[in-house]
């Protein structure tokens, strides 16, 4: 009998203590990354993260106090509390403590609010401007140039200098979008017929992810963009390179691009392509993704999108070109990938 009991005891599985650590580890992994508001790379996002932590601590204090009172009141005590003592307990623990804590949290939030959404009244003209238009379902990005020069236009990627406050001019032609870069700051709606303004400043170099935070249609979830915060010298060099960007030397690929009507919607600097309906494709091969973050930027994925764009991004306005010979689709894709 003793042997059997021993065997039964040994047969029980040991408690997986390591699994207890899994849940907090998973929670902590959400506190970092290119799209985490809790891993700030800008002043506004840092204040938002601070406010979140303070609110969490304040809420935890209130919860702890209320639960402590509950456990204390429900404990198995035969002692009957005097009415005066019970009244003081309710007053201080159930009224004063939550009200004071919530009042302090509200005061702190109101004090911090101007930093979360700073407004530089009368100084807008001194800030670098970037115009962002929310399309269905991609982002048009323009860098107005001084001295009357033509604006530099790109799509789905934004580049900003580190340490310099940037003024984003936000609008939309058809439906409401919401412009949000969690690592840099709060969100701002993009409303048709109105231009909203948002200022952000990156404090460290890096590549961050932005999204549309307002449901805008079928491919709302497939509408991402990247923000690259660059050192000021690197940013100026990039602007200079974009001013002088032109089509590649691939004459055959360009000829196919023009012959099949792609230039009616797209622009490529230095070529006859002057369309403004769709994204500007200048230096398209240097971008990180196809279709606003939907696919990695490879020749194969570009060809996939040309062939059947609505299969990758439902609701997209671009027509499909699956009727073209496969060789010509691949040639156009190779041409676009070669644009640097």
SS in 3 state form for 157-175? EEEEECCCCEEEEEEECCC
* pLDDT band at 5; cut points 50, 70, 90: very low
- Mean per-residue pLDDT for 285-304? 93
* pLDDT band at 33; cut points 50, 70, 90: low
Q: Give residue 3's pLDDT.
A: 44
Evaluate if residue 54 carries a pLDDT over 90: no
pLDDT: is 155 or 55 the higher one? 155
Contacts of 227 (CB under 8 A, 6+ apart): 157, 158, 159, 160, 181, 183, 184, 202, 207, 208, 209, 210
- Mean per-residue pLDDT for 195-207? 91
Q: Give residue 59's pLDDT.
A: 84
Longest dimension (CA), the chain: 97
Q: Give residue 31's pLDDT.
A: 59
Q: Give residue 137's pLDDT.
A: 92
Contact 156, 289 (CB under 8 A): yes
* Of 99-108, 160-169, 195-204, 297-306, the least confident: 99-108
Contact 281, 242 (CB under 8 A): no
Evaluate if residue 10 carries a pLDDT over 60: no
- Mean per-residue pLDDT for 60-74? 81
**pLDDT tens track for 162-193:** 999 999 999 999 999 999 999 998 889 999 99
> What is the DSSP code (8-state) at residue 318?
S
- How many other β-carbons are positioned within 10 Å of the β-carbon of residue 156? 23
* pLDDT band at 58; cut points 50, 70, 90: confident
pTM for this model (two decimals):
0.78
Q: What's the angle, vertex CA 210, arms to CA 206 and CA 216, rounded to 5?
A: 170
Count of CA atoms in the C-beta half-sphere (13 A) of 132: 32
pLDDT: is 133 or 17 the higher one? 133
CATH code for residues 125-243? 2.60.40.420
Residue with tokens 């699994």: 19
Q: What's the angle, vertex CA 213, arms to CA 211 and CA 217, rounded to 5?
A: 95
Evaluate if residue 84 carries a pLDDT over 90: no
* pLDDT band at 12; cut points 50, 70, 90: very low
Pick from 311, 234, 277: which is nearest to 133 by CA?
277
* pLDDT band at 219; cut points 50, 70, 90: very high
d(CA 137, CA 141): 13
Evaluate if residue 134 carries a pLDDT over 90: yes
Evaluate if residue 8 carries a pLDDT over 50: no
Q: Is 178 helix (H, G, I), strand (E, B) or coil?
A: strand
Q: Give residue 322's pLDDT.
A: 92
Strands 289-290 and 295-296: antiparallel
* Of 78-82, 129-133, 147-151, the least confident: 147-151
Please tell me whether the peptide bond between 137 and the residue prior to it is cis, using omega within 30 degrees of 0.
yes
d(CA 205, CA 238): 15
Q: Give residue 217's pLDDT.
A: 92
Q: Give residue 124's pLDDT.
A: 65
Q: Which CATH class is domain 251-337?
A: mainly beta
Distances (CA, A) of 88 to 70, 79, 93, 102, 293: 15, 17, 8, 20, 59
Cα-only R_g, the chain: 28
d(CA 100, CA 98): 6
Q: Give residue 257's pLDDT.
A: 94
CA dihedral sign, ordered 310, 313, 314, 315: negative
d(CA 69, CA 87): 13
pLDDT: is 11 or 292 the higher one? 292
Q: What's the angle, vertex CA 274, arms to CA 268 and CA 275, rounded to 5?
A: 105
Mean pLDDT rounded to a whole number for the chain: 83
Pick from 324, 321, 192, 340: which is nearest to 265 by CA?
321
């Amino acid at each position: 009998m003793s042997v059997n009991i021993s065997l039964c005891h040994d047969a029980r599985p040991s408690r997986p203590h390591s699994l207890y650590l899994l849940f907090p580890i998973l929670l902590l992994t959400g506190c970092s990354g290119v799209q985490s508001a809790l891993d700030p790379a800008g002043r506004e996002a840092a204040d938002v993260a601070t406010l979140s932590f303070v609110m969490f601590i304040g809420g935890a204090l209130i919860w702890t106090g209320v639960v402590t009172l509950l456990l204390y009141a429900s404990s198995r005590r035969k002692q009957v509390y005097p009415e005066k003592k019970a009244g003081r307990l309710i007053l201080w623990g159930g009224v004063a403590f939550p009200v004071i804590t919530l009042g302090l949290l509200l005061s702190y939030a109101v004090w911090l609010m101007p930093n979360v959404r700073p407004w530089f009244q009368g100084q807008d003209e001194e800030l670098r401007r970037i115009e962002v238009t929310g399309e269905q379902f991609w982002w048009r990005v323009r860098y107005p140039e001084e001295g009357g020069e033509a604006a530099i236009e790109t799509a789905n990627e934004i580049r900003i200098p580190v340490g310099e406050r940037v003024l984003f001019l936000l609008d939309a032609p058809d439906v409401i979008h919401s412009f949000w870069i969690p690592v840099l700051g709060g969100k701002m709606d993009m409303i048709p017929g109105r231009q909203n303004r948002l200022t952000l400043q990156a404090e460290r170099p890096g590549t961050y992810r932005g999204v549309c935070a307002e449901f805008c249609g079928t491919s709302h979830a497939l509408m991402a963009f990247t923000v690259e915060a660059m050192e000021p010298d690197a940013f100026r060099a990039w602007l200079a390179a974009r001013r002088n960007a032109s089509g590649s030397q691939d004459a055959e690929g360009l000829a196919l691009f023009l012959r099949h009507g792609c230039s009616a919607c797209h622009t490529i600097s230095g070529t006859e392509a002057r369309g403004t309906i769709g994204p500007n494709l200048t230096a398209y091969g240097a971008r990180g993704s196809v279709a606003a973050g939907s696919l990695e930027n490879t020749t194969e994925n570009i060809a996939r999108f040309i062939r059947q764009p609505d299969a990758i991004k439902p609701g997209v306005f671009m027509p499909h070109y699956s009727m073209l010979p496969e060789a010509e689709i691949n040639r156009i894709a190779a041409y676009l990938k070669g644009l640097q």
